[in-house]
Amino acid sequence: MPSAGVEPPAKRRKWQKDANMVTIGGKAFSLEGYLDPTSRSEPTKATTLPETLATTADDKTKCSALSAEKKSDSRPRKDGRTGDRTRAPKIVAEDAALLKSRQELPIWHHRSEIQAALRNPDCNVLVLVGETGSGKSTQVPQFLYQESWCRRRKAKPSGSQDEVAVGGTIAITQPRRVAATTLAQRVSREVGTPLGKGKPDGLVGYSVRFDHVVPRGTKIKFLTEGTLLQELLRDPQLRQYSAVIVDEIHERSLDVDLLVGFLKQILTDGFHGRGGIPLKVVIMSATADVDVIRKFFTNPPGSDNMSERLQVVRIKGRQYPVEIMHEPRPVPDIQDALMKRILKIHLEEPLPGDILAFFTGQEEIESAQKLIEEHAQSLASNVPKIKVCPLYGQLSMEGQRDAFMPAGAPFTRKIVLATNIAETSVTVPGVRYVVDCGKAKVKKYRPRLGMESLLATVISKSSALQRSGRAGREGPGKCFRLYSESTFESFQDSDLPEILRSDVLSAVLTMKARGVGDVLSFPLMDTPDSDSIERALLQLHYLGALSGDGAITLAGETMAKLPIPAPYGAVLLAAARPEFDCVVEAIDIISCITSGEDIFLQLQSEEAQEEVGALRKEIQRREGDIITYLTSMQRYTGENADRNEWCKRLRMNMRNMRQALNIRRQLRGMCLKEKLLTGPLPADPQPFTPIDPVRADIIVKCFMRGFGLKTAMLAPDGSYVTVQGKHVVAIHPASVLHGQKKEAIMFLEHVFTNKNYAKRVSAIRANWIVEALESRY
DNA sequence: GAGCACTGC
């Protein structure tokens, strides 16, 4: 056997024959070639890898839905017109105050500089570094949409006889839906064509999942990155656009990395597919790390003169000063230090000024809340009162609301205990003091183990900067870092981009579906290691998305169009086959799973758990989580009276349930279009009839077509051992099968936290594993 | 016996 590390990757597949042999019912099976080729045990401890770009955000107009709503309608309206327009739109409701506030933005003075840069026919890429509050997201599209290069034109793409229309619209991408929609609302008011019901014409629109508002005559279109990637599938040259503005690139989402790869391809193609009409690209970042972007767009050096075509403009932000305090030396107990610091700030710092403290997770927040509330009882009467507000993603809407409201009572300080959610996703108003523990929980995919880890990890410098910036939104503030200055200096500059810490399965499928033959040579700012890509290719082949020579199959093309991870796409395709015939049920299940973290709210107290446990008996099924999701959706949609009331009673996550319903509608529509379903489907509500066990087995078997490798068998000692890699896994406590012993299990997720957990688990028979694997060969 | 945060024609 060859020794580790010297063998070229392609030859490594013959390794560890023993680890890839499965004995089921006395029959030995080789999973070689389809399984993890190097399934040596890898320590599952957190590792800190080099990080590349930064995480801060310009979120002046982007905040939580809660605070965004509050902001948008509080502005005084006056009639007036702006001089910033050559053609007056039909609907004129320009607001002098709006124009004035626009002119006060730091970016306003760079207006002609930005316009001039892109008027230069040799300049197709503009990099804009604008700090928080510079106004870049709202103003840059308005600076550009009336430029002459932005006009819609007729052109003949090479190899085509027909003229097509090219350009006319500016796309501007955002990582989050709320950002895309609230920015579109704001910009539409600024240009004088506010979005609203019964307004078919307008200059500004947006397009996000489940919500597309694109008026006739739209010149500026806000999109999420994912939506533009989907458009790219239909229109690889992005012909409807004259420019694409990529905002918040420093967040380095997986989608944005793919997006700029495709943009670079369009740029380096010489615009043949656009009849020679250029596509201008504006890259906007909140951090000054321009080099990665510059290098990406001008690479390989000498192959073209891209370096001359790329310009950089830097804009100062508008932010109040924040005084930063470090600990003199590392603290021994972070949780204890957080508590002490929060109380010290409360006693020493004047009102007004709320406190925002960054914790790593829900558990830490809950225990800290308890302790602070206890302590608050014993405060002297001349000390302000305390209102503690937890803030984390899994918290219900009502639970989060307090964090965004003023403390309410007089002589009271709000203390918000938050996870990373408060770093970029939402803005907490009223904060003057920030406490930063220096850590965050980060999910990281481990391709060798085919599993994820979720562990508290040290943050990056840009993350620390972003956290401290939260103290200076409304006035001068203070940030207390619970680590030393030298510890800060040891942080990486920026966080590891998502593409380097996630499963690239769907990313590779996306590339293949958009005609990228050689995935390894696709231009990326950061390239995952070839091992990860090879595994993804192998698994896509296993799922039937790629043929033996790596070309995309018809099934793969369908999977790429579906807005769900590739393995679920494979399940849907299998469900359409006559032997399974369960597309409707599979959609119900997949909708529940992909709607968010979980549709079941997790409960704190044991009494509440027991109480709801009894109520949930009516939807829980012994077959496991998949069938439990199915009955949940069937019960929910079968509910005649009040669905929200039903959610409350069973402690279901209402937001995720509604999202699941949206996904269900979308998937049903797409499956009808893709001929995976024949309509018409029965309308809701349908009377609830529990699914019979035979049918339940068929559905679970169908899921094995996507997750056949995510299986484990019960060992004699009562533990579960994975078929792939032979690791011990425990059934996660959130699963209905937690604590139960079944012959074998299939799981849809595999996460390491304090141990190896299988999540979304179903009971299976061992011979089903054989069937699922045999059906592949 | 446990849950960082986003997101998709």
Question: What are the residues facing A208 on neighbouring strands?
Answer: A211
List, for residues A259-281, the tens digit of each pLDDT value: 999 999 999 888 988 999 999 99
The string over A698-731, giving b where at least 16 C-beta atoms fall within 10 Å of a residue's C-beta and e elsewhere, is bbbbbbbbbbbbbbbbeeeeeebebbbbbbebeb
Provide, in whole angstroms, the distance separating residue A227's CA from nucleotide B8's C1'.
6
Is the pLDDT confidence value at A32 over 70? no
Q: Is A354 helix (H, G, I), strand (E, B) or coil?
A: strand
Predicted confidence (pLDDT) at residue A669 exceeds the cutoff of 50: yes
Token reading at A702? 């169908």
Per-residue CB contacts under 7 A with strand B, chain A residues 296-355: none
Q: Which residue is nearest to nucleotide B8 (CA to C1')?
A: A563
| Per-residue CB contacts under 7 A with strand B, chain A residues 702-761 | 732-734, 738-739, 751, 753-755, 757
Task: Using the predicted structure, report yes or no on whether residue A29 has a pLDDT greater than 90.
Answer: no
Of the pLDDT bands very low, low, confident and very high (cuts 50, 70, 90), residue A8 is very low
What one-character DSSP code corresponds to residue A621? -
Scanning residues 506 through 525 of protein chain A, those with a beta carbon under 7 Å from any atom of strand B turn out to be 506
Strand B neighbours among A 609-628, CB < 7 A: 609
pLDDT of residue A302: 52
Best CA proximity match to A541, nearest among A520, A563, A559: A559
Query: Which CA-bearing residue is nearest the C1' of B9?
Result: A230
Model confidence band, residue A410 (pLDDT cutoffs 50, 70, 90): confident
Lowest mean pLDDT among A87-96, A293-302, A366-375: A87-96
Please say whether the beta carbons of A565 and A594 come within 8 A.
Answer: yes
**752-771 on A, CB < 7 Å from strand B:** 753-755, 757
- A332/A196 Cα distance (integer angstroms): 55
Nucleic strand B under 7 Å from the C-beta of A235? no
Is A209 near strand B, with its CB below 7 A from some atom of it? yes
Neighbours of A258 (CB within 10 A): 25
The reply to whether A363 Cβ lies less than 7 angstroms from strand B is yes
**Shortest CA to C1' contact from A733: nucleotide:** B1
Q: What's the pLDDT tens digit per position in A344-385?
A: 999 888 888 999 999 998 888 988 998 888 888 888 888 888
Distance A400 CA to B6 C1' (A): 17
Q: For A290-318, what is the mean pLDDT?
A: 75
| CATH dotted code for A322-499 | 3.40.50.300
Is nucleic acid strand B under 7 Å from A227's C-beta?
yes
Closest CA to A703 of A771, A621, A606, A622: A771
Mean pLDDT is highest, among A397-411, A412-426, A495-509, A640-654, for A495-509
A5: exposed, middle or buried (C-beta count within 10 Å: 0-12, 13-18, 19+)?
exposed
A492-525 CB burial, b ≥16 within 10 A, e <16: bebbbbbbbbbbbbbbbbbbbbbebeebeebbbb
What are the tokens at A492? Answer: 């990486």
Q: How far apart are CA A565 and CA A452, in angstroms?
A: 15
Q: Is the CB of A564 under 7 A from strand B?
A: yes
Residues lying close to strand B (Cβ under 7 A), chosen from 667-706 of chain A, are 670
CB–CB of A132/A58 below 8 Å?
yes
Q: Is the CB of A603 under 7 A from strand B?
A: yes
| Integer angstrom CA distances of residue A287 from A57, A222, A280, A392 | 9, 22, 21, 26
- Give the closest nucleotide to A208 (alpha carbon vs C1'): B8
In terms of average pLDDT, the best of A276-280, A330-334, A444-448, A491-495 is A276-280
Terminus-to-terminus CA distance in chain A, angstroms? 26
What is the Rg, in whole angstroms, of the alpha carbon atoms belonging to chain A?
Answer: 27
- The CB density around residue A455, as the number of other CB atoms within 10 Å, is 18
Query: Using the CB atom, is residue A176 less than 7 Å from strand B?
Result: yes
- Band of residue A218 on the pLDDT scale cut at 50, 70, 90: very high
Please check whether strand B approaches the CB of A231 to within 7 Å: yes
pLDDT mean across residues, chain A: 83
- Could you identify the residue whose CA is nearest to the C1' atom of nucleotide B4? A441
**Which of residues 395-424 of A have CB within 7 Å of strand B?**
419-421
* CATH number 3.40.50.300 is the correct assignment for the domain at A96-314: yes
Which nucleotide has its C1' atom closest to residue A602's CA? Answer: B3
Smallest CA–C1' separation from A739: which nucleotide? Answer: B1
> CA-to-C1' distance for A437 and B1, Å?
27
Measured CA to CA, the distance from residue A165 to residue A156 in angstroms comes to: 9
Domains of chain A, residue spans: 96-314, 322-499, 562-697
As a whole number of angstroms, the longest Cα–Cα distance in chain A is: 83
CA of A585 to C1' of B6 (A): 27
Question: What local confidence, expressed as pLDDT, does residue A269 receive?
Answer: 85
- Other beta carbons within 10 angstroms of residue A562's beta carbon come to 20
Chain B positions with a protein C-beta closer than 7 Å: 1-9
CA at A653, C1' at B8: how many angstroms apart? 21
List the A509 CA – B5 C1' distance (angstroms).
24
Asked whether residue A407 carries a pLDDT value surpassing 70, the answer given is: yes
Using the CA of A506, which nucleotide's C1' is the nearest one? B8
Residue A524 in tokens: 């990326």
> Looking at residues A727-752, what average pLDDT do you find?
91
For strands A744-752 and A711-714, give the pairing: antiparallel
* A769/B9 CA-to-C1' distance in Å: 35
Cα-based distances in Å from A28 to A40, A96, A484, A710: 20, 78, 57, 18
Tokens of A362: 């829900």
Please name which of A422, A447, A446, A448 lies closest in space to residue A436, comparing C-alpha atoms: A422
**Interatomic distance A354 CA / B7 C1' (Å):** 31
Calculate the angstrom distance between C1' of B5 and CA of A457.
14
From the CA of A26, how many Å to the C1' of B7? 45
Instruction: Name the pairing type of β-strands A431-436 and A477-484.
Output: parallel
Q: Which nucleotide is nearest to A734 (CA to C1')?
A: B2
Query: What is the identity of the amino acid at A570?
Result: A
> Distance between CA atoms of A229 and A114, rounded to whole angstroms?
26
- Can you list the alpha helix ranges (DSSP code H) found in A441-542? 461-469, 485-490, 505-513, 530-542
The answer to whether A547 and A487 have CB atoms below 8 angstroms apart is: no
The token pair at A232 is: 């790219």
A394 touches strand B (CB under 7 A): yes
Domains A96-314 and A322-499 share a fold: yes
Closest CA to A107 of A77, A143, A62, A71: A143
